[in-house]
Amino acid sequence: MMPDVGRRHVQLSRCTNVDEDTGMTLQIRAFRDGDRAEVVELWAEAFPDEPGHNASSDMIDRKLRVQPELFLVAIVDGRVVGTAMAGFDGVRGWLHRLAVRVSARRRGIGAQLVRSVEDGLAALGCPKVNLQVRAENTSVVAFYRAIGYAIEGRVSMGKHLG
């Protein structure tokens, strides 16, 4: 069972914060290998149309080889309730895999994960962060707008390598 993360938004830094009302602790920190199973479970819940466990584990392995400090998890009462991944390619930062457990949403955890990733990118000298959202994912667009992101006039293109 997922922890109850309380009824009001928590304010926190990149380390550990305690909610004075509930006693809940919320921590944003870099991913550790012991988090893997819970992260895979979270992604299966948050991205149900994406590839399954193996693909998630491959993604974790690849991220751990490149800027692993920009793979963050949100922890409540010792459990992973959120993730955010980012990378800086020298020109732009990119944000991926932002996800919060359904039971922990609308408590400010997603916004704090993004702020923490932004701090990490800025510390590397990154001037701007980009992200992609599926066109039909309107609630996520509302989330990003609420935390200061704007829709930009671009056509998103991609190509699989190998």
Closest CA to 132 of 92, 162, 100, 161: 92
Half-sphere exposure of 8 (CA within 13 A, CB side): 7
Q: Judged by CB under 6 A, which of 91, 142, 150, 161 binds ligand COA? A: 142
Kindly state whether residue 63 participates in binding ligand COA, applying the rule CB under 6 A: no
Residue 139, interface with ligand COA (CB under 6 A)? Answer: yes
137 contacts ligand COA (rule: CB under 6 A): yes
Distance CA 24, CA 6 (A): 7
d(CA 109, CA 10) in angstroms, rounded, equals 8
Residue 133 binding ligand COA, by CB under 6 A:
yes
Residue with tokens 């909610």: 19
According to CB under 6 A, which residues from 29 to 48 bind ligand COA? 46
If you ran DSSP here, which 8-state letter would residue 52 be given? -
Cβ proximity to ligand COA: between 95 and 126 the closer is 95
Contact status: 143 vs ligand COA (CB under 6 A): yes
Query: Closest CB to ligand COA among 108 and 120?
Result: 108
Residue 7 contacts ligand COA per CB under 6 A = no
Q: Which amino acid is at 122?
A: A
